[in-house]
């Protein structure tokens, strides 16, 4: 027993243990990649075609790299959503130099509850721009608004919050420095 433990905990024993662990992980990873959609036989002995039909049905959503007749153009945002995004941006820029609480109160009605929660505690001094410098552009559910130091991209969502029964709300905020 003592001799076996000496062999296992020697340099060579540890190398063998590590090698076995690495090969085990690789084997599990390869096994996990096998799916009925990769052309291998399914568990039930079929060629996988029956189970892949559900995955190839058109779900109505287009992918970014989609080309051809099977793609759907994203619906354009109505002008109301673009206007709401511009109103949010005007409040977000904090033109009056309000403190944190007043600034948050001014932007909260424009956001979904989740976005408002994420913005809680944000200091308005960290807003990286001072004014809108161009016309907003809608692309799918996003509105890009050029500002003096970059572009603010807002993802708009139709919904409700404590201030709006049913309207367009900001569900995500993205900033790109120019």
* Stretch among 8-22, 44-58, 112-126 having the lowest mean pLDDT: 44-58
As a whole number of angstroms, the distance between CA 148 and CA 91 comes to 15
119-172 pLDDT tens trace: 998 999 989 999 999 999 999 999 999 999 999 999 999 988 878 778 899 999
The ranges assigned to domains in the chain are: 2-56, 79-177
Burial-class residue 89 by CB neighbours within 10 Å (0-12, 13-18, 19+).
buried
Using the predicted structure, report yes or no on whether residue 118 has a pLDDT greater than 70: yes
As a whole number of angstroms, the distance between CA 154 and CA 168 comes to 11
pLDDT number for residue 96: 85
* Residue 154 phi, psi (nearest 5): -115, 130
pLDDT number for residue 52: 44
Class assignment of domain 79-177? alpha beta
* Better pLDDT: 8 or 58: 8
46-93 pLDDT tens trace: 554 444 444 455 555 545 555 544 444 456 889 999 999 999 999 999
Using the predicted structure, report yes or no on whether residue 37 has a pLDDT greater than 50: no
Distance of CA 36 to the CA centre of its chain: 28
As a whole number of angstroms, the distance between CA 124 and CA 118 comes to 14
């Amino acid at each position: 027993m003592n001799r076996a433990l000496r062999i296992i905990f020697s340099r060579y024993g540890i190398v063998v243990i590590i090698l076995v662990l690495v090969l085990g992980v690789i084997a599990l990873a390869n096994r996990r990649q096998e799916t009925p959609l990769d052309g291998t036989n399914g568990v039930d002995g079929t060629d996988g075609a029956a189970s892949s039909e559900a995955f190839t049905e058109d779900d109505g959503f287009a992918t970014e790299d989609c080309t051809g007749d099977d793609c759907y153009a994203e619906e354009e945002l109505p002008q109301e959503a673009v206007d709401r995004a511009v109103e949010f941006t005007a409040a977000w820029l904090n033109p009056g130099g309000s403190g944190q609480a007043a600034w948050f109160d001014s932007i909260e009605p424009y956001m979904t509850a989740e976005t408002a929660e994420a913005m809680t505690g944000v200091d308005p001094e960290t807003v990286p721009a001072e004014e809108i410098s161009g016309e907003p552009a809608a692309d799918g559910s996003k509105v890009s608004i050029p500002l003096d130091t970059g572009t603010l991209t807002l993802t708009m969502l139709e919904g409700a919050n404590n201030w709006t029964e049913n309207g367009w709300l900001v569900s995500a905020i993205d900033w790109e420095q120019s």
